[in-house]
Amino acid sequence: MKKKQKKFIKKKSFFFKDYPDPEINFDNIQHKSVKVSLNRTTFLFFIFFSLIFIFSIKIIYLSFFTEKNVFSKKSNYDFVKKRADIIDRNGIILARSIDVYSAGVRSKLVQDKKKLLINLKLIFPELDANKIREKLNSNNFFYIKKRLTEDEKTKLWLIGNKAIVFEKKQFRIYPQQNLLSHILGQIDDNNNGISGLEKFFDSDLKNKKMIESPLQLSLDSNLQFLIREELINAKKDFNQIGSAAFLMDINSGQVLSSISLPDYDLNKRILIDKDIYTNKITKGVYELGSVFKTFTLAAGLENKKIKSSTIFKNLESKIYCAGRKISEHDDLPKDLSAEQILIRSSNIGAVRIAQKVGIQKYKDFLNSLELFQKINFDLEEIGTPLPFRWGKCKLATASFGHGITTTPLQLAKAYAILSNGGYRIEPTILKGNSLELKKQIISSETSRTINSALRKVVANKEGTANFANIKGYEVGGKTGTALKSVNGIYTDKKLNTFISVFPTSKPKYILLVMLDEPKPAPQYVYEFPNGYKHKGEMRNTSGWNAVVVAGKIIEKIGPILAINSLQASK
């Protein structure tokens, strides 16, 4: 019995040795878990610290090397200019080529035409829904818009329609919009110039060797803006159907401003085949009226037939030539000097001066000023004066600008020659493109006498251009009021011109202002140099509108032209 009992106890002891105490196992397991958690935390902290370190290095790098922008570098490689820029005399961009996206639709790929039409109408409210519907139903490709804004491009892309096609193309943009439309012109979709400077200098603008050098003009955008604003304001007062202005340096021939209204936004393709869109300065051919009397006086002086003090006595109020009446515009004194004939703008007096000069010498004098041949200029839109046959009656009417035509550009050139000492110039629209060697074709004495007379047209009480007598600028000039001819018949519609020279003591600039069919302005308050104000005027000759506009322009642009203030001559 005792042996059996011992054996049993030994067996029991063996059993407990095989199964360890559970409390000891728990402690071991907990210790291992802590070790694992610690390793994970350390790893995550290392990753986080590494990211902070990388971003810090990147920020420091970008702050020190900002010029190394991979995106701008890539865009420079992608963009290859196809046409040179055009800039004004101050470096302001007038025309530049940029990459622009166009959007079109492949109608055959459109699954839900109604839905696409709604989306297009939401993005482009100005689209004609009926026309778009017709194009969608035609199953042909068509353009939605050729010059997308970034916002329009993004909205179209977000539609996610595979039928919409984006096309990148180089377009010409004109930041100044309407400001120089008649001068700059336009290009077609194939990068070819079709009008204006874009056409005249097409090969130069596309020349790969010259493409990085902009075409610099003599035009000043600031002057252009101010003059254009005054012409626009003039329409409120005189309700003309069109107008024009031209400013030129009379010594170099460089054009500082050339405007013809109405104009148009070069960034919008519109039909400009109507007469109102003609470049009135270079292309328009007109009878310009009494501005020709200055040439008549100059021809008499240059040919030694008269002096400025020569008295013409017993001037008639009207005469006849080939049965046609020539009369004065106002009641004038019977006796006038040659200078007074210009100052008072006497038609009969101008005829008498021309008759003293004679047909051949008068004709030769006008031809020396190149008034009747096509002028060489930096545009293709150039008018050709109408041919005519000289005779006694033509001599008479030409003396006061009737029945004889030229362009405003040629008129300005001729006045520049008369005022600059008699030196021949060639107008140019390019900066630094003026002639260096000048030929004198009219005597300095004649030039000085003409400048003195032009000053008196503006400054003297009996002159026809008092409203241009802006203090400090010594403005001289001549008015011209011409009846417009329609199908060979003269109407009561007028073309009014005022051409001015300033300062007359040392001439520097020519300014021409022309108003097409201005109306009387009884509501306008005219203020004379002596302070007297006048309202209710029904006359609409040049002295009552074109001169007023020119005076306002000179007052605005004078400071920009940096003319020294001069004491107005009496």
Pair 245, 152 in one domain: no
CA 289-253-387 angle, 5° bins: 40
Q: Is residue 75 part of a domain?
A: no
| Residue scoring higher pLDDT (476 or 163) | 476
pLDDT tens digit sequence for 84-93: 999 999 999 9
- Residue 557 near residue 227 (C-beta atoms within 8 A): yes
Q: List the alpha helices (DSSP H) in 19-112.
A: 22-64, 70-78
pLDDT computed for residue 344 by the predictor = 96
Q: What CA–CA distance (Å, rounded) separates 176 from 266?
A: 9
Peptide bond into 408 cis (omega under 30): no
- Residue 429 near residue 511 (C-beta atoms within 8 A): no
Q: Is residue 372 part of a domain?
A: yes
Q: Is residue 492 part of a domain?
A: yes
Final residue in a domain of this structure, among 142, 173, 204: 173
Final residue in a domain of this structure, among 137, 157, 173: 173
CATH of the domain at 444: 3.40.710.10
Q: Is residue 15 part of a domain?
A: no
| Domain region containing 133 | 86-173
Pair 149, 241 in one domain: no
Final residue in a domain of this structure, among 173, 202, 236: 173
Pair 102, 230 in one domain: no
What is the pTM (predicted TM-score) of this model?
A: 0.79
pLDDT at 51 over 50: yes
pLDDT computed for residue 348 by the predictor = 96
Pair 158, 231 in one domain: no
Q: What CA–CA distance (Å, rounded) separates 510 from 62?
A: 56
Q: What CA–CA distance (Å, rounded) separates 468 from 553?
A: 9
Which residues on adjacent β-strands are paired with residue 254?
A: 428
| Residue scoring higher pLDDT (50 or 1) | 50
Q: What CA–CA distance (Å, rounded) separates 286 from 295?
A: 16
pLDDT band at 8 (very low <50, low <70, confident <90, very high): very low
Pair 340, 455 in one domain: yes
Q: Is residue 568 part of a domain?
A: no
Q: What CA–CA distance (Å, rounded) separates 407 from 481?
A: 15
pLDDT tens digit sequence for 342-355: 999 999 999 999 99
CATH of the domain at 112: 3.90.1310.10
Pair 231, 162 in one domain: no
Handedness of CA 357, 358, 360, 366 (dihedral sign): positive
Pair 164, 249 in one domain: no
Pair 399, 548 in one domain: yes
Q: Is residue 260 part of a domain?
A: yes
Question: How far is residue 315 from each of residues 48, 159, 293, 347, 383, measured CA to CA in Å?
Answer: 106, 82, 16, 10, 37
The rounded mean pLDDT for the chain is: 86
pLDDT computed for residue 50 by the predictor = 81
Pair 540, 400 in one domain: yes
- Residue 466 near residue 528 (C-beta atoms within 8 A): yes
Q: What CA–CA distance (Å, rounded) separates 105 from 116?
A: 10
Pair 139, 251 in one domain: no
Question: How far is residue 558 from each of residues 114, 469, 488, measured CA to CA in Å?
Answer: 60, 13, 41
pLDDT band at 436 (very low <50, low <70, confident <90, very high): low
CA 195-196-197 angle, 5° bins: 120
Q: Is residue 160 part of a domain?
A: yes
pLDDT at 5 over 50: no
Q: What CA–CA distance (Å, rounded) separates 227 from 457?
A: 23
Pair 267, 130 in one domain: no
DSSP label of 244: E
pLDDT tens digit sequence for 220-277: 999 999 999 999 999 999 999 999 999 999 999 999 999 999 999 988 866 666 777 8
Domain count along the chain: 2
pLDDT band at 66 (very low <50, low <70, confident <90, very high): very low
Q: Is residue 34 part of a domain?
A: no
Pair 508, 362 in one domain: yes
